[in-house]
Homo-oligomer: A and B are copies of this chain.
């Protein structure tokens, strides 16, 4: 592992924020899958910045140039590579050395990891911009999954302390999924939007930022996929999801709150429904028992930390003079990446499910 991922499907992501381009190779995709480019661009658009005040006003044209693996909009089955050009690279920054690592970013850890040779401009390979090829890859996968009856969606569960209505863990309405799949600010209860935006705007005005929680679901997963131990559905999903910068936690089903329940409350009891299908009456396990899907919705929540790029003065170090100092980060930054991150988490889930289903 590193920037490659997968056992059946293989995803290899490359690029640096201010290099020539970023992109992804998807190997071992099934052949003959029609890709709806408009839908794919819509999903990529949800991640793009500049949509409104919650995100950075930089303009990016994140158009994926597909070099291989697609013929007549249909997967050939051989590796699919997409490249997104970086348009706002600034050559004058070349050769600039890291001096003042930004708190909360990968500047310092990357500097040590790569012995000072990594491209630090704009965060380099650590940049949130690298989620663009992740969304590209995930959007290919989710179209293939959708054809098998599997639908993915997420919403902004919370921004700071302001919470949306959670998904119904036992049944997520398909109309709801369709609606929020197309929204830049996806919410179960749209009435929360104003409070959340006001809160984000208040952080922006004070040069600060906020985080939040994303709740994500997949419906239509067949029962009986996944594995006990290390090949479990939770293991596989979390091994992709933590690849999204700023994620600091993941919980499935009732998650951390399940620890406050008793076994008799937490156990998802079985029943046949009116159609003779096996269901569970509750879904505290998030659709997964013993690492294997039970046919109920796969449900999890992800903690997104506040954007580390803030304009408030921060303590840091001077790596050249080896002394303590202070840092003010200039430029305009996302006060909250949670809305843009929803489609990134959905994409991570889509990639994970391809591997879990051995498609």
Docked-complex contact A2 and B231, CB < 8 angstroms:
yes
* A261-B211 CB under 8 A given contacts A105-B290, A323-B272: yes
Say yes or no: is A185 at the interface (Cβ < 8 Å to chain B).
no
Instruction: Verify if A45 is at the interface (C-beta below 8 Å from B).
Output: no
Q: How many whole Å from A347's CB to the nearest CB in chain B? A: 13
Q: What are 16 A-to-B residue pairs whose CB atoms are below 8 Å?
A: A4-B27, A4-B230, A12-B25, A20-B65, A20-B68, A68-B125, A78-B124, A108-B289, A109-B292, A109-B293, A160-B260, A228-B245, A229-B243, A256-B303, A270-B317, A271-B324
Confirm or deny: A42 has a beta carbon within 8 angstroms of a beta carbon on chain B.
no
Mark A86-117 against chain B: 1 for CB-CB distance below 8 A, else 0.
00000000110000010111111110111111
Given A115-B32, A293-B109, A227 and B267 touching (CB < 8 A)?
A: no
Nearest-neighbour CB distance to chain B for A71, whole angstroms, equals 5
Write out the residue numbers on chain B whose beta carbons fall within 8 Å of the beta carbon of A16. 68-69, 76, 78
Q: Which of A144-152, A176-184, A189-197, A305-313 contacts B (4 or more CB under 8 A)?
A: A305-313
In the complex, the answer to whether A231 meets B294 with C-beta atoms within 8 Å is: no
Contact between chains at B242 and A248 (CB < 8 Å)? no
| Chain A 3-32 interface mask (CB, 8 Å, partner B; 1/0) | 111010011111110011111010110011
The answer to whether A104 and B267 touch (CB under 8 A), given A79-B12, A231-B3, is yes
Kindly state whether residue A138 has any CB partner on chain B within 8 Å: no
The CA-CA distance from A148 to B295 in the complex, in Å, is: 30
* Complex: A269 Cα to B102 Cα, angstroms: 8
Interface residue from B95, B130, B161, B301 paired with A72 (Cβ < 8 Å): B95
Structural contact, B14 and A109, CB atoms closer than 8 A: no
Given contacts A235-B243, A269-B316, A276-B322, contact A2 B22 (CB under 8 A): no
Whether A109 and B294, one on each chain, are in contact in the complex, defined by CB atoms closer than 8 angstroms, is: yes
Residues of B within 8 A of A116 (CB): 32
Q: Contacts A75-B117, A105-B289, A262-B203 given: A25-B25 contact, CB under 8 Å? A: yes
The residues of B that contact A324 with a CB separation of less than 8 Å are 271-272
Number of interface residues of A (CB under 8 A): 148
A72 touches B94 (CB 8 A): yes
Q: Which of A256-307 contact B (CB under 8 A)?
A: 256, 258-272, 276, 278, 280-281, 284-286, 288-294, 301, 303-307
A-B contacts besides A107-B290, A112-B223, A245-B290, 7 pairs, CB < 8 Å: A20-B67, A31-B115, A31-B117, A71-B119, A106-B290, A209-B262, A234-B242
Q: Is A252 an interface residue (CB 8 A)?
A: yes
Q: Mark A162-186, 1 if CB is under 8 A from B, else 0.
A: 0000000000000000000000000
User: Please, which residue of chain B has its CB at the minimum distance from the CB of A84?
Assistant: B67
Residue of A15, A210, A306, A322 contacting most chain B CB atoms (<10 Å) = A306
Please report the C-alpha to C-alpha distance between residue A15 and residue B112 in the assembled complex, in whole angstroms: 34
Complex formed: what's the CA distance from A7 to B7 in Å? Answer: 7
**Contact of A44 with B by CB under 8 A:** no
* CB closest residue in chain B, given A12: B12
A292 near B106: Cβ-Cβ < 8 Å? yes
User: Is A255 interfacial (CB 8 A cutoff)?
Assistant: yes
Residue of B nearest to A261 (CB): B306
